[in-house]
Amino acid sequence: MNKTDYIRYLLDEYYNGTLSLSGERELRSYFAGDYIDPELEAERDMFLALGDIQVPDELEERLNETIYSLDRERKTRRIGLRRWIMRAGAVAATVAIVVTLVLPSGKMTDEEIIGSMTREEVAAHTTRVLELMSRTINAGSESAGRATSVAIEVINSQSDNI
């Protein structure tokens, strides 16, 4: 049986509705090929048309893969957002702890305040305190001097009266 006779045999089976799926694929493949026996040319457009509307086998798998890929992408995005929220929360908590520890509160003792200062800050505060003490002592000695002068003047005037 030559090729054309074989195709004709498949066509008879096809039109009887008895041809297997693999036989139908053979027919479509033949009519989609470069050489078609001129005697069978009339069948070509019909087989090409039926081939055109046949849903490709790979489409279902391609669509399922697309759906799973979209699902994975969404899950990854959700995990990314969750991680971002967790990281932001961790940063916020760290900042809160640092602020609490670094900024002096009203309940801190003198030792704690001094302990939280740098050497330079301690030196600057000490200098300031000493300056204030010095000014106070100076002011005190001037007052004492003025009081002494007044007292001497009073004593002198009283001794003159005596």
Partner 1 sequence: MNAERFQQLVMPHYRRMYLVAIRLTADTADAQDAVQDAVINLWQQQAKLESAGNIEAYAVTAARNAAIDITRRRHPACDIEDATQHDMSHDPATALSIKDRVEHVMEIIDDLPDTQRRVILMRDVDGCEFDEIVEATGFSHVNVRTLLSRARATIRKHFANI
- Residue closer to partner 1 by CB (options 62, 125) is 62
- When asked if residue 71 is in the footprint of partner 1 (CB under 8 A), the reply is yes
3-state helix, strand, coil split of the chain in percent (to 5) is 85, 0, 15
**CA distances for 44 relative to 4, 26, 36, 95, angstroms:** 13, 13, 8, 77
- When asked if residue 38 is in the footprint of partner 1 (CB under 8 A), the reply is no
Report, in Å, the least distance between residue 48 CB and partner 1: 6
- When asked if residue 22 is in the footprint of partner 1 (CB under 8 A), the reply is no
The residues, any chain, with a CB within 8 Å of residue 8's CB and separated by 6 or more, are 40
The residues, any chain, with a CB within 8 Å of residue 30's CB and separated by 6 or more, are 7, 36, 47
Report, in Å, the least distance between residue 23 CB and partner 1: 12
- When asked if residue 15 is in the footprint of partner 1 (CB under 8 A), the reply is yes
Q: Are 51 and 38 in contact (CB under 8 A)?
A: no
- Residue closer to partner 1 by CB (options 60, 142) is 60
- When asked if residue 134 is in the footprint of partner 1 (CB under 8 A), the reply is no
- When asked if residue 111 is in the footprint of partner 1 (CB under 8 A), the reply is no
> How many residues in the shown chain lie near partner 1 by CB under 8 A?
32
Residues 93-124: b if buried by 16+ CB within 10 A, e if exposed: eeeeeeeeeeeeeeeeeeeeeeeeeeeeeeee
- Residue closer to partner 1 by CB (options 67, 97) is 67
- When asked if residue 30 is in the footprint of partner 1 (CB under 8 A), the reply is no
Q: List contacts with partner 1 (CB under 8 A).
A: 14-18, 21, 24, 34, 42-46, 48-50, 52-57, 59-60, 62-64, 66-68, 70-71
